[in-house]
Chains A and B, each alone.
Chain A
Amino acid sequence: MSDQVSSRATGRGFGRVLVFVYGILAFAASGRATFELTTKFTDAPFPYSLSILAAVIYVVATWAIATSRRTIAVAAVGFELTGVLAVGLSSLVWTSKFPQASVWSDFGSGYGWVPLVLPVVGLWWLLRGSEARTGG
């Protein structure tokens, strides 16, 4: 994709703050997923699978924003927002499906609501940058 080479760097300026926060979440989510997968996955396969998915998304988002792969970054962050909203809502409605918490349960309240706020800020940053590029 041409926007991957021609766009302004998404990992500079405020993007550097964003990458740092995403990196911390990627680290935390990966650690959590690894622990759940290796010790107690069969207890609650569904929420723990979501933890693994969330970890992968955070790793991809961190990498894509840091390396200015805007299309992939928007996709990952958009998926993340959808995920946190869907899982957050589901965990409230179908509590029996979520006997164990996942990263996105209750809209990420276990992580200080950061998982809910971060994708909104991320999309703002990524799309604002592209507007500035095309709008001149």
Chain B
Amino acid sequence: MSALQAVLSVLCGIGILWLAVLIVRDLRPGNSALALLAVIEVGLVVQLVIGLVRVFGNHTGVSVAVYVAYLVGALLVLPIGVVWSSAERNRNGTAVLLIAVLVVPVLFLRLHDLWSAHV
């Protein structure tokens, strides 16, 4: 896993705990929690650029379509989660955000597997 993915995974971990606490205490995410998601999303954009350079550069047998699909999927999950949760301003909306943040490190693992299995 790249250093960027490791840092982003830690941020996702913080986000997951934060959102879990909000759900337990029945509070809505404030600007600071959303700012954390925004920081993660910026990191995912950087990851997309790095990933595209890698996969179109010196790749040995990595399936480009699958790798790019995971990169783009990682980029989409948080924005879709934010939009989808916005109509539900209660615990359920916060749970949608939590799941979205949970998916990001899972996609990192898959990206890592895809890369290491072929290099």
A-to-B contact residues, CB < 8 Å? 12-14, 16-17, 19-21, 23-24, 27, 31, 35, 39, 112
Number of residues in B with C-beta < 8 Å to the partner? 21
User: When the two chains form their complex, are residues B87 and A16 in contact, meaning their CB atoms are under 8 A apart?
Assistant: yes
Query: Quick check: A21 and B65 within 8 Å, CB to CB?
Result: no
B-to-A contact residues, CB < 8 Å: 63, 65-66, 69, 73, 77, 80-81, 84-85, 87-88, 90, 92-93, 95-96, 99-100, 103, 106
The answer to whether B77 and A13 touch across the interface, beta carbons within 8 angstroms, is no
Report Cα–Cα, A31/B68, bound state, in Å.
Answer: 12
Closest chain A residue, CB of each to CB of B93: A16
Q: Which of chain B's residues have a CB closer than 8 A to the CB of A14?
A: 92
How many Å lie between the Cα of A120 and that of B65 in the bound state?
33
**CB within 8 A of A17: which of B69, B96, B103?**
B96
Q: In the complex the two chains form, is B84's CB within 8 Å of A20's CB?
A: yes
- Name the one of B65, B96, B100 contacting A35, with C-beta atoms under 8 angstroms: B65
Residue pair A20, B81 in contact (C-beta under 8 Å): yes
CB neighbours (8 Å) of B106 from chain A are 112
Contact of B66 among A12, A24, A35 (CB under 8 A): A35
Please state if B103 and A13 are interface contacts (CB–CB under 8 Å): no
- Smallest Cβ distance from A21 to chain B, in angstroms? 6
Contact B65 A20 (CB under 8 A): no
Query: With A13-B92, A27-B73, A31-B69 known to touch, is A21 a contact of B85 (CB < 8 Å)?
Result: no
Report the separation of the CA atoms of residues A84 and B93 in the bound assembly, to the nearest whole angstrom.
28
Residues in B neighbouring A21, C-beta threshold 8 A? 99
Of A16, A23, A27, A39, the contact of B88 (CB 8 Å cutoff): A16
CA distance A14 to B84 in the complex (A): 12
Minimum CB distance partner of A16 in chain B: B88
With contacts A24-B77, A112-B106 taken as known, whether A17 is within 8 angstroms of B66 at the C-beta atoms is no
Is there contact, CB below 8 Å, between B69 and A20?
A: no
Nearest chain B CB to A35's CB is how many angstroms away? 6
- Which 7 pairs of residues, A with B, have the shortest CB-CB distance? A17-B95, A16-B88, A20-B96, A17-B92, A16-B92, A14-B92, A13-B92
